[in-house]
């Protein structure tokens, strides 16, 4: 792994005065991982499209990035705050104190292409391109950014955002705003910071939760989540990871084979089957697939598209391994559809359930060897990160957390290609990749 040398490290505060107030965190915020979500963007050196020469007006500028970040933090001022404990119960909230976000500038003697080729999320990639912090507890910045300049002129942007503050859609909204300001466009939609629509209902009773949430959120207890140091790197379980690309034509064929379902459901069903087979699970074993559903548009009334916070809920589907493997692809897709079709009542039930739960003990790390956890970034503006250099050559998670963790990602370009970033037990990964592509080849 190439050595990265830190050039500067500073806290960047909002460029204008911002509200100094506490920001209440919902139960969905506090049920998220108490730590950072690390991602990496790779950008090639900008060139003129006609003769291949460097565009003089599109060079990477740390001054422009810093100024744009300070301006973006005026709108997204919770990112410049710090977590703190509130009240007798010590429930976490954000102290919007304008303490600032961490911006690290680094350089590497390596070439960008050394990392683009066969990139796979790993601890080494995370440690190289994403800022580290001792803990995710009180006094820690909630937004960590690192810009690494390669000798070839390319750049890596590593980001780590505290999960109590944002979900995936909120994270991409911030990056899109920051990048648009950097290239001189200030028209991006401001974030909606009001989280009170996600309060639990009053006068709770034991019957308030209408759905069973124990698989996804564990059993009940009696105290709120406090501000504690969280493990940013997640579980220590060993894994192998890979990013597997699916062409637009293959994705369309998968959708047709699964019964005209969405790309998400068809692709997840395919991954589920391949993982069960690669793991050589017993046919009578139960496999559970956990995923997240964005509920912004499903609430009544709906949340704004620009809602800034956690508006995703965990849900899951289960099946016997033998049934998954013996039945057509549509079998798993139908199981997933039933688990991801919930609306407002599901969210209200979950918020009520979490109100009386010990949020510090909500399961956040590790899975049984039969299970998977899938996070989908499909359909999100993940490649709307044009700082004036063009869209990223690659966006990917910097780190996977444990075996069984999977991300679904859009690929750059307009061809409809998608990617699967998967982590499995090291001895199972090669077989998983073989099955993954053998099944796709049969569709062609």
- The residues assigned a catalytic role are 163, 386
What Cα–Cα distance (Å) separates residue 247 from each residue in 26, 185, 267, 308, 316? 38, 33, 12, 32, 27
Q: CB under 8 Å to 24, separation ≥6 — which residues?
A: 93, 195, 196
Q: CB under 8 Å to 67, separation ≥6 — which residues?
A: 15
Give me 276's structure tokens.
Answer: 């069960």
- HSE on the CB side for 413, CA within 13 Å? 10
The C-alpha angle with vertex 284 and arms to 280 and 285, in degrees rounded to 5, equals 65
Angle between helices 62-75 and 168-182 (to 10 degrees): 130
Give me 439's structure tokens.
Answer: 């099944």
* Whole-number Å distance between alpha carbons of 129 and 338: 39
Range list of H helices, 37-79? 62-75
Place of tokens 């108490």: 34
* Whole-number Å distance between alpha carbons of 171 and 144: 12
**Contact status, residue 58 vs residue 166, Cβ threshold 8 Å:** no
Dihedral pair phi/psi, residue 235, rounded to 5°: -65, 155
**Contact status, residue 80 vs residue 14, Cβ threshold 8 Å:** yes
Q: Is 387 helix (H, G, I), strand (E, B) or coil?
A: coil
Q: Report CA dihedral (147, 151, 152, 157) to the nearest 10 degrees.
A: -10
* Whole-number Å distance between alpha carbons of 4 and 109: 8
**Eight-class DSSP state of 56:** G
**Strand bridging mode 36-43 / 394-397:** antiparallel
Burial label, 357 (beta-carbon count in 10 A; 0-12, 13-18, 19+): buried
* Whole-number Å distance between alpha carbons of 54 and 296: 42
Looking at the DSSP bridge assignments, the partners of residue 232 are none
Helices (H) and strands (E) in the chain, counts: 12, 15
**Contact status, residue 444 vs residue 253, Cβ threshold 8 Å:** yes
């Amino acid at each position: 792994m190439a050595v990265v040398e830190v050039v500067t490290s500073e806290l960047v505060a909002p460029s204008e005065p911002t509200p100094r107030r506490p920001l209440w965190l919902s139960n969905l915020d506090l049920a998220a991982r108490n730590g950072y979500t690390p991602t990496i963007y790779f950008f090639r050196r900008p060139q003129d499209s006609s003769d291949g020469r460097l565009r003089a007006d599109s060079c990477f500028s740390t001054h422009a990035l810093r100024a744009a970040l300070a301006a973006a933090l005026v709108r997204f001022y919770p990112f410049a705050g710090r977590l703190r404990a509130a009240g007798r119960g010590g429930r976490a909230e954000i102290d919007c104190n304008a303490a600032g976000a961490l911006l690290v500038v680094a350089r590497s003697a390596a070439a960008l292409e050394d990392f683009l080729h066969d990139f796979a999320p790993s601890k080494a990639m995370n440690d190289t391109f994403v800022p580290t912090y001792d803990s995710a507890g009180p006094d820690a910045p909630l937004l960590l950014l690192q810009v690494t300049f390669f000798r070839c002129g390319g750049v890596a942007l590593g980001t780590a955002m505290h999960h109590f503050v944002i979900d995936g859609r909120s994270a991409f909204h911030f990056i899109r705003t920051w990048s648009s300001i950097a290239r001189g466009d200030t028209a991006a939609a401001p974030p909606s910071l009001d989280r009170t629509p996600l309060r639990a209902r009053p006068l709770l009773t034991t019957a308030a939760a209408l759905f069973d949430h124990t698989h996804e959120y564990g059993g009940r207890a009696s105290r709120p989540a406090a501000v504690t140091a969280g493990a940013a790197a997640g579980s220590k379980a060993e894994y192998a990871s890979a990013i597997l690309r699916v062409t637009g034509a293959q994705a369309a064929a998968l959708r047709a084979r699964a019964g005209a379902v969405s790309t998400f459901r068809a692709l997840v069903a395919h991954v589920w089957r391949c993982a069960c087979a690669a793991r050589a699970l017993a046919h009578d074993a139960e496999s559970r697939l956990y995923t997240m559903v964005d509920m912004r548009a499903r609430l009544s009334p709906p949340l704004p598209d620009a809602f800034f916070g956690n508006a995703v809920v965990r849900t899951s589907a289960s099946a016997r391994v033998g049934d998954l493997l013996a039945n057509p692809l549509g079998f798993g897709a139908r199981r997933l559809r039933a688990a991801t079709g919930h609306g407002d009542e599901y969210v209200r039930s979950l918020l009520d359930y979490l109100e009386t739960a010990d949020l510090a003990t909500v399961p956040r790390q590790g899975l049984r060897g039969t299970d998977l956890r899938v996070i989908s970034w499909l359909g999100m503006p993940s490649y709307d990160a044009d700082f004036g250099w063009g869209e990223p050559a690659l966006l990917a998670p910097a780190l996977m957390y444990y075996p069984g963790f999977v991300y679904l990602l859009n690929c750059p370009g307009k061809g409809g290609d998608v990617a699967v970033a998967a982590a499995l037990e090291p001895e199972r990964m090669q077989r998983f990749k073989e099955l993954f592509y053998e099944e796709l080849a049969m569709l062609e």
